[in-house]
Structure 1
Amino acid sequence: MTGSTAIVVEGVSKRFKVYKSRPTSLKERVTRFARDRYEEFWALDDVSLEVPEASVYGLVGHNGSGKSSLLRLMANIHRPTKGRIVANGRISALLELGAGFHPDLTGRENIYLNAAILGFRRRDTDKILDEIVEFSGIEPFIDTPVKHYSSGMYVRLGFSVAVHVDPQILLIDEVIAVGDEEFQRRCFEHLYRLRNRGVTIVMVTHSLGLVQSMCSRAAWLDHGKLLAEGPAGDVVHHYVSKVNEREAERFEHEAEAASELGVPEGGLDVEASLRPLSIEAVEFLGSDGQPTQVALSLEPLTVRIRYRASEPVESPLFSFAVESANGVHVATPGMRPDDRRSEVLVDEGYVDYRIDQLALAPGEYLLSTAVHDRHGMIRFDHQQRCAKLHVQRSSRSVPGLVDLLGRWEAPVGPRAEALR
């Protein structure tokens, strides 16, 4: 392991025994000994990866893919059946609500208990106690037994302890999502500060937007196998593409089942026939109104989304997301329910998003599109990274990623008047 690597996972596999039935008495144990059977379940299968120091690393995948099992192996809660994990630094883990909390102890007492488990002496905990309590936001209840806490209070206190005991490696398993909006924002702000201080963060999350915006690298697990590892944007792209493929297969199976039941097939493709509205294509039109794949910074551009409606749809909401080549989420222009549009889409057509000045810097960008019902609650269709746009430099350059398209103004004061 190099000095720039926080965690090394080498050929790790983890097996669990899933018993079909367990004896409830000594008699059953003796008489059914030969018949006792269990199934082997491999939560992880030959997984190898490296987590760089001072980075945020994401683990993505469906429920049951092995993400949490890998995180518990990193935390040394479980031991690998095969392979090894080497961690270079002190680990603090927040893997579930109230992990390590004693229900009969108060919040204050549990702070000292958790800190002691992580190797802190009492006088060291004394120095950070007030900071932990203040961050958690549950000061009025800090001397109340935690068995009376709500799930939100549990996660507030647990997260606050985990991030304030000076970790070198912080492991987080989705628990931030339990907190309210204000606390989640405080958590993310603190995580950014920890990252800037050089703390390595490994998180399991189903929020792909969070992985793209916060993580530098990620790994995609599927049924215990590592399917992709690398820059977060690329991993998310591969993961979403596979999810879309599986969804398309599901639609195809549903269509086949409907056909066997005698349901007449339409002339549209499978996906469109099962949805009232589907996205057919995304096009770009230059300032001359002609299709193009190359746009100029600070010049006009039109994004045209072509659709197909298998039945009349009233006032659907279209949107698209712009992502840079390295996976940075740039913008998501979209129609809103309060736009009070009132039209019914039928057959085939398109909607345009007109940009007077393209604020993007030169580079390559990927667009994902979606269309929802008029209330924004039901998604009819979603196409991930379905169009690529190349932006070139125009007569005016755009430093950074985007141009804010503002203008500088200076008030006219006495000194300015005197210089006239």
Structure 2
Amino acid sequence: MPSPPLAIHAEHITKIYRRFAHKRQFATLKSAILSGSLVRDLKPDETFRALDGVSFDVEAGRTYGIIGRNGSGKSTLLKCVAGIAKPTTGKITVNGRISALIELGAGFHPEISGRENVFINGIMLGLSKAEIERRFDEIVEFAELAPFIDAPVKTYSSGMYMRLGFAVAVHVDPDVLLVDEVLAVGDEGFAHKCLDKFAEFRRRGKTILLVTHSLGLVERFCDEALWLDKGKVKGVGDPKRVIDAYVTEIEEGEEAFLAAEDARARVRVDLGAGSSVPAPEGGEPNDGVTAGNVEAPADMFKAEAGRWGSGDIEIARVDLIGPDGTVGHVFHSGESMTIRLHLTARTPVKDFVFGIGLFNADGVCIYGTNTNIEEMSAQEISGDGQVDFVIEELALTEGTFKLDLAVHKLDGFPYDYHRQLYTFRVKSPVKDVGFFRPRHSWTFSPSVRLTQLRGPEGWRPHMKDDEPTA
């Protein structure tokens, strides 16, 4: 059986840019040309490889997603496919008419009208004047710019500019559509129109090459995904498998960053280590919060990160533990999380209370409790011990959160108070708002019809199996 025809074939694509510095400047273009090459004779530390041996194939009629961190080479690759940039080495073959949504409106002239720019841009994309005239009304209607089409483009907002550029590009009727994160500019309504247009292109067997940070978009629309990292191919294949590997690496990086930040914060505030809050240059520590000082800040809700207390009972270590028993800083919404306090009491103590406070990234307390509030009466603690605070389900939206942890007397006298020294991040495929996600379900009468879109693996909406969803 013959292989499906290829819309795009990229073979060992490398793109090298020169690092700009005051050393080795060319006086003129002529001197650069006479030297033989702008990059060939440069030392490795004088160049930057935006792409490094990238190869991939896109079959005609397929939607192909490219993902990766900022600076990984995604946009450079798309520009090479579009012909805007030329690879330093390697070969790219594209079969069919290309329309590129890379820098929308890049060919627009600000001094002339939207109408004139539609014709100029359409001709640049390969249409004849007659073809543009036939499609003009449809382009303007799609862009929602009828009242402004004869105004100079320089009077347009960035959203209007983007809508007109998108409308022209998609109405060229290309065989291959190149898209680079353009949906981030439009409002929600226009974004839905763009997605509907992509769906129409797919139904018509067009080829789409999509660069985006929206992993949900790649999983929903793309037949295959390519993961770029520092200019190299890190993964390619089934979108879900590639995205899962990419997200895992991102979370590992977040984990390392949060762990290092928390470790640095705690070093500054260890009991006996001096000020618990970095002092202003040439000044005294903030809020009078000093390690080893038993006096708490006057206003706890304005206190900065720090540590204070007598040290009679010390919180020696804190672990944040996920459902698999692994200590970490990155968790997923709906998972369980255990906050484990490792304790040391210098002498037996009979008066003690354990407390916990949960704060969002803005420092707003979203939950707090202690063993006294929950009617637990202290008996005695001596030597080393351990306390686990188990959150059975992290009912939190995606975001960064901080913890206050404390052990103190019943009257509030602090033995050891840790103020926002522990950070964790909650990840979620659901982009709801706020910070609290209650367990919930939806019910609908037979006259209200919806279709349930299944979320990414690991997320299950709380809907009863017998509820009508379609």
Q: TM-score, normalised by structure 1?
A: 0.67
Q: CA deviation at 1:312?
A: 2.4
Q: CA deviation at 1:247?
A: 1.5
User: Aligned letter for 2:127?
Assistant: F
| Residue 405 of structure 1: aligned partner | 466
Check conservation: 2:177, 2:208, Cα contact below 8 A: yes
Q: CA deviation at 1:259?
A: 5.8
| Residue 313 of structure 1: aligned partner | 357
Give deviations 1:116-165, integer Å, cap 9, x for gaps.
11211111111111100000001111111112211101110011111111
SS of the residue corresponding to residue 19 of structure 1 reads: coil
**Greater CA drift, 228-237 or 255-264:** 255-264
Structure 1 segment 113-152 matched on structure 2, within 5 A: 113-152=120-159
1:10 aligns with 2:52: no
Q: CA deviation at 1:383?
A: 5.6
1:167 aligns with 2:174: yes
Check conservation: 2:322, 2:335, Cα contact below 8 A: no
Q: CA deviation at 1:43?
A: 0.4
Structure 1 segment 368-379 matched on structure 2, within 5 A: none
| Residue 40 of structure 1: aligned partner | 47
Q: CA deviation at 1:206?
A: 1.0
| Residue 281 of structure 1: aligned partner | 323
User: Aligned letter for 1:344?
Assistant: G
**Greater CA drift, 74-83 or 259-268:** 259-268
Check conservation: 2:318, 2:339, Cα contact below 8 A: no
Larger radius of gyration: 2
Structure 1 segment 96-115 matched on structure 2, within 5 A: 96-115=103-122
User: Aligned letter for 2:50?
Assistant: A
Structure 1 segment 252-401 matched on structure 2, within 5 A: 252-258=259-265, 261=268, 263=270, 266-269=316-319, 272=320, 280-281=322-323, 305-308=336-339, 312-313=356-357, 344=368, 347-351=388-392, 380-382=424-426
Check conservation: 1:314, 1:345, Cα contact below 8 A: no
Q: CA deviation at 1:73?
A: 0.4
Give deviations 1:348-372, integer Å, cap 9, x for gaps.
223359xxxxxxxxxxxxxx99577
Change in Cα spacing, 1:344 to 1:256, as seen in structure 2 (3 Å) is: closer
d(CA) in 2 for partners of 1:280, 1:371: 17
Check conservation: 1:309, 1:345, Cα contact below 8 A: no
SS of the residue corresponding to residue 248 of structure 2 reads: helix
Q: CA deviation at 1:314?
A: 5.1
| Residue 437 of structure 2: aligned partner | none
User: Aligned letter for 2:426?
Assistant: H
Change in Cα spacing, 1:246 to 1:88, as seen in structure 2 (3 Å) is: same
d(CA) in 1 for partners of 2:19, 2:400: 42
| Residue 290 of structure 1: aligned partner | none
| Residue 457 of structure 2: aligned partner | none
| Residue 176 of structure 1: aligned partner | 183
Structure 1 stretches lacking a partner, 5+ long = 273-278, 284-302, 317-341, 354-367, 386-399, 409-420
d(CA) in 2 for partners of 1:131, 1:257: 58
Change in Cα spacing, 1:282 to 1:252, as seen in structure 2 (3 Å) is: closer
| Residue 19 of structure 1: aligned partner | 20
Q: CA deviation at 1:18?
A: 2.3
Give deviations 1:365-418, integer Å, cap 9, x for gaps.
xxx9957769xxxx9423689xxxxxxxxxxxxxx979863469xxxxxxxxxx
Change in Cα spacing, 1:99 to 1:309, as seen in structure 2 (3 Å) is: farther
Structure 2 stretches lacking a partner, 5+ long = 36-40, 272-314, 326-333, 342-354, 361-365, 371-387, 403-422, 430-452, 455-462
Change in Cα spacing, 1:128 to 1:24, as seen in structure 2 (3 Å) is: same
| Residue 60 of structure 2: aligned partner | 53
Check conservation: 2:338, 2:391, Cα contact below 8 A: yes
Check conservation: 1:56, 1:201, Cα contact below 8 A: yes
Q: CA deviation at 1:267?
A: 2.0
Check conservation: 1:282, 1:306, Cα contact below 8 A: no
| Structure 2 residue corresponding to 1:218, chosen from 225, 246, 252 | 225
Change in Cα spacing, 1:188 to 1:259, as seen in structure 2 (3 Å) is: same
Change in Cα spacing, 1:371 to 1:114, as seen in structure 2 (3 Å) is: closer
Higher RCO (CA < 8 A, seq sep 6+)? 1
Change in Cα spacing, 1:69 to 1:246, as seen in structure 2 (3 Å) is: same
SS of the residue corresponding to residue 281 of structure 1 reads: coil
Q: How much identity, in percent, do the aligned residues show?
A: 40
Q: CA deviation at 1:215?
A: 1.5
d(CA) in 2 for partners of 1:200, 1:163: 12
SS of the residue corresponding to residue 110 of structure 2 reads: coil
d(CA) in 1 for partners of 2:465, 2:5: 36
Q: CA deviation at 1:306?
A: 3.7
d(CA) in 2 for partners of 1:3, 1:90: 18
Check conservation: 2:17, 2:48, Cα contact below 8 A: yes
User: Aligned letter for 2:18?
Assistant: K
User: Aligned letter for 2:224?
Assistant: R
Check conservation: 2:8, 2:92, Cα contact below 8 A: yes
Q: CA deviation at 1:109?
A: 1.0
Change in Cα spacing, 1:345 to 1:181, as seen in structure 2 (3 Å) is: farther
d(CA) in 2 for partners of 1:81, 1:215: 29
| Structure 2 residue corresponding to 1:84, chosen from 74, 88, 91 | 91
d(CA) in 1 for partners of 2:82, 2:99: 8
1:250 aligns with 2:274: no
Change in Cα spacing, 1:218 to 1:117, as seen in structure 2 (3 Å) is: same
Q: CA deviation at 1:268?
A: 2.5
Check conservation: 1:155, 1:176, Cα contact below 8 A: no
d(CA) in 1 for partners of 2:253, 2:468: 48
Q: How many residues align?
A: 323
| Residue 293 of structure 1: aligned partner | none
SS of the residue corresponding to residue 154 of structure 1 reads: helix
